[in-house]
Amino acid sequence: MSVSSTNMMAHVAQVDLEHEMNFHGLTAPFFVALSMVVVLVIVWKAGGFQSLGRGLDNRIATIRRQLDEAAALRAEAEALRAEAQAQAAAAHKDAETILAHAKIEADQLVAQARLDADELIVRRAKMAEDKIAAAERAAIADVRARTAAAATTAAASLIAQKHDAGTDKLLVAQTIAGIH
């Protein structure tokens, strides 16, 4: 805005003030303020402010009750939260204890399984060694029996081939002479 337009607006406002209606120098805003004061005095005399104060007091009391209830609910919620946290901590501790016992039991089971496996291996090795020894004894006995049978057959064959009745007489005579 230019300076001339500002001056013009100020001039128009002054002209409006000079032409405003008034009653013995009292303008419309004064009468509006006076009427407001009269209305407020009437409301005060009628007890409107006391009623308004009671309404506000009632509203304050209601809000206080609600705040007290909210505080009680909050305290109850905090107590429940603390209890839940204590239960969670106890459950966590129980879980850790159970896990520790489970680890101990698992270690014991593994150790026992190793011992049992070692004992089973020893027993099975002993059984295998016993079976091998029995098989060896049976094989040796079988070889001896076959050897004895083969020797007997060979001796009988040799005796049959080389001995005749004269040789037998000589052997019988030597045996009888050796007995005396």
Q: Which of 16-25, 69-78, 95-104 has the lowest mean pLDDT?
A: 16-25
Strand partners, 27: 22
Structure tokens at 123: 């027993």
Q: Is residue 55 part of a domain?
A: yes
Strand partners, 22: 27
pLDDT over threshold 90, residue 17: no
Overall domain count for the chain: 1
Give 172's pLDDT tier (boundaries 50, 70, 90). Answer: confident
Strand ranges inside 51-138, DSSP E: none
pLDDT over threshold 60, residue 1: no
95-146 residue pLDDT tens:
999 999 999 999 999 999 999 999 999 999 999 999 999 999 999 999 999 9
Q: Is residue 26 part of a domain?
A: no
pLDDT over threshold 90, residue 179: no
Q: Is residue 14 part of a domain?
A: no
Q: Is residue 170 part of a domain?
A: yes
Contact 20, 27 (CB under 8 A): yes
Structure tokens at 138: 């049976």
pLDDT over threshold 90, residue 161: no
Average pLDDT, the chain: 85
Q: Is residue 13 part of a domain?
A: no
Q: How far apart are CA 5 and CA 56, in angstroms?
A: 51
Q: Is residue 41 part of a domain?
A: no
Structural domain including 116 reads 47-179
C-alpha 79, offset from chain centre: 26
pLDDT over threshold 60, residue 51: yes
Q: Which of 53, 73, 76 is nearest to 65 (CA)?
A: 73
> Which pLDDT score is estimated for 74?
95
Strand ranges inside 9-145, DSSP E: 22-23, 26-27
151-160 residue pLDDT tens:
888 888 887 7
Q: How far apart are CA 137 and CA 163, in angstroms?
A: 37
Give 89's pLDDT tier (boundaries 50, 70, 90). Answer: very high
> Which pLDDT score is estimated for 28?
84
HSE toward the beta carbon, residue 13, CA cutoff 13 A: 6
Q: Is residue 32 part of a domain?
A: no
Contact 49, 43 (CB under 8 A): yes
> Which pLDDT score is estimated for 134?
92
Q: What is the 3-state secondary structure (H, E, C) of 51-67?
A: HHHHHHHHHHHHHHHHH
pLDDT over threshold 80, residue 5: no
Q: Is residue 27 part of a domain?
A: no
